[in-house]
């Protein structure tokens, strides 16, 4: 009887998928879980923002220039009488997509380069890693500003700039994961039965790097949003009239004395979003790292 019960328990344990194991561990981290829920809501708001916003992003109200928060305008109005709350809702999509797309491009290129570098080694590895060293020799913000100085200001160029400076970070991390996986017995066994490089990489190496990739992807989104907003703040990113959070904040600088809310609310939106991504990243790292989980 006892044996049967133990066997049943063992069977149940076997059925636990890696995802279930991760989910169990992740749910325990209440702050990170809350950050995840916040981000989920933010994505929904970003998607439906234009439909639920009480005013349009360029709707002028000349009777209410720079007025403080009220029931009519929850976060007040800017120097053109535009409703700041509505503009934040409209801008959520811009900030999120700039952060996501730049990190996605950086992660995609970085992962391809990191896997090639770690898997093939030798001169391929040296060549790729030296190029990455050169990119890392420039402090992030300076690299982004240099790229913008070449490409010219604009949101698309901001995405490119942030993507380029994310590439070496991902390449390095994925390379070290690849090196670790490459030396495992099962990869050696697969290679010895004559599997092609492509098959080994797609079936064994890449899946092994996914957890690291997820953690760094989440963490980098926060810094990408910060740098993109910083570039817009410096006047090198979004057009000043766009409801991009960094650009909105920059517009409010001239009215800091009499209308601080113009700067306060867009900054708060950036802060909370970046904070949520960082907290989620911390939680994912703890849940996906077997050393911590066990």
- Of 50-58, 89-97, 118-126, 221-229, which part binds other proteins (CB under 8 A)? 221-229
CA neighbor of 208 nearest in space, from 239, 224, 230, 187: 187
Residue 68 sits in the site that holds other proteins (CB under 8 A): no
CA angle 58, 61, 63 (to 5 degrees): 160
List the x/- string, 97-136, binding to other proteins by CB under 8 A.
---------------------------------x--xx--
**Minimum CB distance to other proteins smaller for 13 or for 294:** 294
CA distance 148 to 247: 16
**DSSP code, position 77:** B
Q: Tell which positions 238-267 bind other proteins, by CB under 8 A.
A: 246, 249-250, 252-253, 256-257, 260, 263-264, 267
Please identify, using beta-carbon distances, which residue of 114 and 266 lies nearer to other proteins: 266
DSSP collapsed to 3 states, 166-220 = HHHHHHHHHHHHHHHHHCCHHHHHHHHCCCCHHHHHHHHHHHHHHHHHHHHHHHH
Tell me the three state secondary structure of residue 83: strand
Nearer to other proteins, 207 or 290 (CB): 290
Q: 75, 116, 148, 213: which one contacts other proteins (CB under 8 A)?
A: 148
Asked if 42 and 287 touch (Cβ cutoff 8 Å), the reply is no
Q: How far is CA 187 from the centre of its chain?
A: 31
Please report whether residue 42 would count as binding other proteins according to CB under 8 A: no
Q: Which residues bind other proteins (CB under 8 A)?
A: 130, 133-134, 137-142, 145-146, 148-150, 222, 226, 229-230, 233-236, 246, 249-250, 252-253, 256-257, 260, 263-264, 267-268, 270-271, 274-275, 277-279, 282
């Amino acid at each position: 009887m006892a044996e049967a019960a133990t066997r049943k328990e063992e069977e149940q344990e076997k059925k636990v998928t890696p995802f279930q194991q991760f989910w169990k561990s992740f749910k325990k981290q209440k702050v990170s879980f809350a950050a995840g829920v916040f981000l989920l809501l933010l994505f929904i708001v970003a998607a439906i923002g234009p439909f639920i916003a009480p005013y349009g992003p360029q709707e002028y109200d000349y009777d209410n220039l720079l007025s403080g928060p009220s029931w009519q305008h929850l976060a007040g109005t800017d120097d053109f009488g535009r409703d700041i709350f509505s503009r934040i809702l409209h801008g959520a999509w811009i900030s999120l997509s700039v952060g996501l797309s730049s990190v996605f491009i950086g992660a995609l290129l970085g992962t391809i380069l990191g896997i090639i570098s770690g898997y093939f080694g030798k001169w391929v590895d040296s060549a790729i890693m030296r190029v990455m060293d050169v990119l890392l020799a420039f402090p992030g913000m300076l690299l982004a500003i240099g790229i913008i100085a070449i490409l010219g200001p604009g949101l698309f160029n901001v995405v490119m700039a942030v993507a380029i400076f994310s590439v070496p970070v991902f390449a390095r991390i994925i390379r070290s994961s690849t090196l670790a996986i490459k030396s495992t017995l099962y990869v050696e066994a697969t290679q010895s039965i004559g599997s092609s490089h492509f098959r080994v990489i797609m079936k064994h190496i890449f899946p092994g790097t996914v957890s690291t990739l997820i953690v760094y992807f989440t963490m980098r989104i926060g810094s990408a949003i910060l740098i993109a907003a910083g570039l817009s703040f410096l006047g090198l990113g979004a057009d000043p009239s766009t409801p991009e959070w960094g650009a909105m904040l920059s517009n409010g600088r001239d009215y800091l004395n009499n209308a601080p809310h113009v700067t306060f609310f867009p900054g708060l939106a950036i802060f909370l979003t970046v904070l949520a991504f960082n907290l989620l990243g911390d939680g994912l790292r703890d849940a996906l790292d077997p050393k911590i989980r066990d």
